[in-house]
Amino acid sequence: MNKFASELLGTFALVFAGTGAIVINNVSNGAITHVGVALTFGLIVLAMIYTFGDVSGAHLNPAVTLGFFAAGRMPGREIFPYIGAQLIGATLASAVLRGLFPAHPNLGATLPNGSAMQSFVLEFILTALLMLVILSVSTGAKEKGITAGIAVGSIIGLEAMFAGPICGASMNPARSFAPAIVSGETKALWIYLVAPTLGALAAPFLCRCVREKECCPAPKMS
């Protein structure tokens, strides 16, 4: 239960701070700026890794959980409890933001600024790179060492910085699911559920290309 509580609280913090930065940037006429939003996402993930990384691994992301399973780093029995906790935490955060900003149209939902295929490909590549970094700085399903949070937070901030204006740089189905469901802005949600998931599942194969197979053993159901 400690693991699942950690995932719920960590994902709540991620969505509350990250999408909250988007909402506040909108209502304050750009006071935070795009760079500020990108840094907020990177910094909140960094903080949550140092807070909960030794308990649950601080996945905070259903795609990352599935990526760890595909890499043989976590048992299959934990997948649904992890993802359930992440979705609950994210939805609670969006519900709180709805209460604080009732007039905001989408609560920071990820929306493509271009074609659906363009955003799909971007989300796939961004998440594959994110998961590759996570696999490289983690042991089992948990981060290792003092630099793990810095590496993961940095890649999230970097990808949000350059790709955010086009695809939203979600890389996280829970982060996109919650504001879309709470605000009713669901027309592009499928992109941000499917593309990050496929990207995270591709990352273990990339990892095996540059590291020993022990880095990503076969998935285990129990």
Q: What is the dihedral of CA 183, 188, 190, 193, to 10 degrees?
A: -70
Q: Report which secondary-structure segment, H or E, holds 139.
A: strand 138-139
Q: What is the pLDDT of residues 113-140, one digit of tens each?
A: 999 999 999 999 999 999 999 998 886 5
User: Looking at the domain assignment, is residue 121 inside a domain?
Assistant: yes
Question: Are the CB atoms for 152 and 142 separated by under 8 Å?
Answer: no
CATH of residue 132:
1.20.1080.10
Query: 42: which 2 tokens?
Result: 């990177």
Q: Which residues contact 158 (CB under 8 A, 6 or more apart)?
A: 38, 42
What is the number of structural domains in the chain?
Answer: 1
Question: Are the CB atoms for 160 and 34 separated by under 8 Å?
Answer: no
User: Looking at the domain assignment, is residue 80 inside a domain?
Assistant: yes
User: Looking at the domain assignment, is residue 203 inside a domain?
Assistant: yes
Segments forming the whole domain that contains residue 188: 2-215
Pure H helices in 101-188: 116-136, 148-167, 173-183
Distance CA 59, CA 66 (A): 10
User: Looking at the domain assignment, is residue 221 inside a domain?
Assistant: no
Q: What is the pLDDT of residues 144-177, one digit of tens each?
A: 556 788 999 999 999 999 999 999 999 999 999 9
User: Looking at the domain assignment, is residue 222 inside a domain?
Assistant: no
Q: Which residues contact 103 (CB under 8 A, 6 or more apart)?
A: none
Query: 122: which 2 tokens?
Result: 């971007």
User: Looking at the domain assignment, is residue 12 inside a domain?
Assistant: yes
Stated pTM of the model: 0.93
Q: What is the mean pLDDT of residues 203-208?
A: 87
